[in-house]
Chains A and B, each alone.
Chain A
Amino acid sequence: GESVGLHLPTLSVQEGDNSIINCAYSNSASDYFIWYKQESGKGPQFIIDIRSNMDKRQGQRVTVLLNKTVKHLSLQIAATQPGDSAVYFCAENMEEASGTYKYIFGTGTRLKVLA
């Protein structure tokens, strides 16, 4: 498959442990955030989202935390599995002065799950 981001920061986690992936976003006016997972050779896949009026949201084995004070987003994966190995991107949705919206993606973190 294709290699994405050969020089991305890498997080190595033992299978069964919890993973925490962090992201700093750029715009304090952004009001919607998404975490995506991208496996080798595939397009990004939605994991979980959160709106700016929340600070925590839980899904199945995943939790997203939002700290607007320091413009920080984190993704927690419980009981990490080999299938979780991928590159993870955060994205912020912001409204521009023109009234249009656009997504800004972070550079990504590679998660490696060790057996």
Chain B
Amino acid sequence: DSGVTQTPKHLITATGQRVTLRCSPRSGDLSVYWYQQSLDQGLQFLIQYYNGEERAKGNILERFSAQQFPDLHSELNLSSLELGDSALYFCASSQVGQGASEQYFGPGTRLTVT
């Protein structure tokens, strides 16, 4: 158990809908990272927050957004969902905001768009 929690574990929704994925980092970690993992691909970095502020941006679509709250939990919002958005979404946390740091991954949320 990494100490990172994600909810829900599974999510099935229809195209055009909007969903919110939730992540609670390990106790003491200030950074949260979001990743997308499609069936035949590795992990694609989406976005990072550090202590409530956006720190780095990766391949995140404009239909997607995220935020980190004062209690450090984070939410990833996915809107106007398309079939291609079906994937595993992982959250990871680390102590530092940038530079070399081990990331601890949550169990993931499996999103299925039908």
Number of residue pairs across A and B with beta carbons under 8 Å? 76
Please count how many residues in chain B sit with their CB below 8 Å of the partner chain's CB atoms: 31
Size bracket, chain A contacts: 20 to 34
- Known: A45-B2, A103-B45. Contact between A4 and B88, CB under 8 A? yes
Partner of B56, one of A2, A45, A100: A100
B105 pairs with A45, CB closer than 8 A: yes
0 or 1 for each of B20-43: is its CB under 8 Å from A? (1 = yes): 000000000000010101011111
Given contacts A43-B90, A45-B105, contact A102 B42 (CB under 8 A): no
Residues on B facing A (Cβ under 8 Å): 2, 4, 33, 35, 37, 39-45, 48, 55-58, 88, 90, 92, 98-100, 102-108, 110
Residues in A lying within 8 Å of B, measured CB to CB: 2-8, 31-32, 34, 36, 41-46, 49, 51, 89, 91, 93, 96, 99-108
